[in-house]
């Protein structure tokens, strides 16, 4: 099963990159992730003048002896990151015009992220959702966690009447996010951008890092229709007669506006947004993502 998700060719490319979090949260183990907080660590960060209320244990008494001033010695805190993956399994994710469905692509992406996090000993969890939370594995770095996550990812299938609803799963995540962490949402985001950002906003507000992977089939971005075709909505079952001219012009414009809307609103809300084309190799998407994050750090 691991072999299925973690294709060696994919993992070979990903292992050479560092997964560097933008925001360091409550980390304890020094490692690759840089904590956003100062704390106990080996690497010095700065001195700060004592103000009443500071913990006296952090006062650098040597400096006080030399200068008779009280300064607090601060270190860069290196810690393990809490990574939570939100995987959308709504019926629309079952679509695929080529050999790979969107859900399959999303599973590979999630598994790759889990594996990378495991290599860095990050506590990882997952939430499988559609219109409700279907499965939830809390973040943990215990032994066997990776296998549990892999089983969970593998078992994720779209339900019979499942439709996407971001409100419930994201509020669920907000409930258990007591620490600042990193949340990765993988979905096709067939929803109004305003609604999406509104649903994920509370996570960002708590100081957690949020990354949106927008998984789309190339046929969804620009449908290629010969003549006319009868389309049936995967989630609602509604049918509509569609002509090629409409798909080539008006639909394309609407889709571009939709993608731009999500991207703009996400960026303005401090959310990372990445569009994943299922026709592109998975490792390329990850590599691009990690390169971007590294560069930002």
Partner 1 sequence: MGLFSPWFLGGLFAVGLPVWLHLLKRSKEDPQLFPSLMFFEHRETSSVMHRRIDYLLLFLLRAAMLILLALLFAHPFIRQSSAAQRGDRLTVVAVDRSFSMRTKEGSSTRLDLAKEEAQKVLAGVPTGTKAQVVALSGILEAMTQQISDPNELRAAIAAVKEGDSRADFGVLARYLRTLREQADIPLEVHLISDLQKSAQPAGFADLRLDDGTKLVLHPIGKAAPNWSVESVNAPARLYDPKTVRINATIAGFNAPAATRNVSLILNGKTVGSKQVMVDANGRGSVEFVGLEATYGYNKCEIKIDSTDSLAADDRYVFSVERTDPKKVLFIDDGRHPKSQKFFAAALTSDPDSEFSVDVLRPEVAANANYSNYTLAVLSEPSNMPAPLTAALQRYVEQGGGLMVAVGVDSVALSKVPVMDVPIQGTKLATRSGERFWSIGDFDQNHQVLKNLDHMNGVKFYQSVTLGTDKANVLARLSDGSPLVLERRVGEGFVLAYAASFDERQNDLPYKPIYVPFVQDAVKYLGGGGVNQPVNVQVDSAVELRAGVQNQGVSAEVLDPDGNRVLSLEESASAPSAMLTKEGFYDVKTAAGRRLLVATHADRRESDLTVMEPETQELWSSTGGSVDTGKNPAKAGVNADSTPWSLAPYILVLLLLVALAESVIANRYLRSSIHTEETIKA
Question: Which residues in this chain contact partner 1 in the complex, by CB under 8 A?
Answer: 92-93, 95, 102, 188, 190, 217, 220, 223, 227-236, 238-246, 250-251, 254-255, 258
Tell the smallest beta-carbon distance from residue 82 to partner 1 (Å): 31
Q: Which is nearer to partner 1, 15 or 243 (CB)?
A: 243
- Are 219 and 255 a contacting pair, CB within 8 Å? no
- Minimum CB separation of residue 222 from partner 1 in Å reads 12
Nearer to partner 1, 30 or 164 (CB): 164
Nearer to partner 1, 163 or 204 (CB): 163
Shorter beta-carbon distance to partner 1: residue 59 or 225: 225
Give the nearest distance from C-beta 178 to partner 1 in angstroms: 35
Burial 16-39 (b: 16+ CB within 10 A, else e): ebebbbbbbbbbebbebbbbbebb
Residue environment code for 154-165, b if the CB has 16+ CB neighbours within 10 A, otherwise e: eebebeeebbbb
Q: Minimum distance between the CB of residue 117 and partner 1, rounded to whole angstroms?
A: 29
Helix (H) or strand (E) holding 44: strand 34-49
CA gyration radius for the chain?
22
Exposed (0-12), middle (13-18) or buried (19+): which is 143, by Cβ within 10 Å?
exposed
Q: In whole angstroms, how close is the CB of 92 to partner 1 at the nearest point?
A: 4
Decide whether 132 or 250 has the Cβ nearer to partner 1: 250
């Amino acid at each position: 099963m691991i072999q299925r998700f973690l294709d060696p060719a994919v993992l070979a490319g990903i292992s050479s990159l560092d997964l560097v979090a933008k925001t360091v949260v409550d980390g304890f183990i020094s490692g690759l992730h840089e904590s956003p907080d100062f704390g106990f660590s080996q690497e010095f960060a700065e001195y700060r003048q004592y103000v009443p209320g500071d913990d006296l244990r952090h006062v650098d008494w040597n400096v006080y002896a030399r200068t008779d001033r009280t300064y607090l010695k601060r270190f860069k805190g290196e810690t393990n990151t809490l990574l939570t993956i939100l995987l959308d399994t709504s019926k629309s994710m079952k679509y695929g015009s080529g050999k790979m469905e969107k859900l399959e692509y999303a599973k590979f992406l999630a598994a790759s992220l889990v594996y990378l996090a495991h290599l860095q000993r990050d506590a990882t969890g997952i939430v499988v959702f559609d219109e409700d939370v279907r499965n939830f594995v809390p973040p943990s770095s215990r032994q066997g966690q990776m296998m549990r996550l892999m089983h969970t990812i593998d078992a994720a299938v779209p339900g019979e009447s499942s439709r996407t609803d971001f409100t419930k799963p994201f509020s669920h995540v907000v409930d258990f996010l007591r620490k600042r962490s990193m949340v990765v949402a993988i979905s096709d985001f067939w929803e109004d951008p305003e609604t999406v950002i509104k649903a994920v906003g509370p996570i960002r507000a708590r100081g957690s890092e949020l990354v949106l992977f927008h998984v789309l089939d190339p046929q969804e971005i620009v449908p290629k229709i010969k003549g006319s075709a009868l389309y049936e909505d995967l989630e609602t079952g509604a049918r509509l007669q569609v002509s090629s001219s409409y798909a080539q012009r008006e639909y394309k414009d609407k889709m571009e506006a939709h993608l731009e809307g999500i991207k703009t609103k996400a960026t303005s809300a401090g959310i990372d947004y990445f569009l994943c084309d299922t026709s592109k190799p998975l490792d390329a998407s990850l590599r691009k993502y990690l390169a971007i994050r590294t560069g930002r750090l």
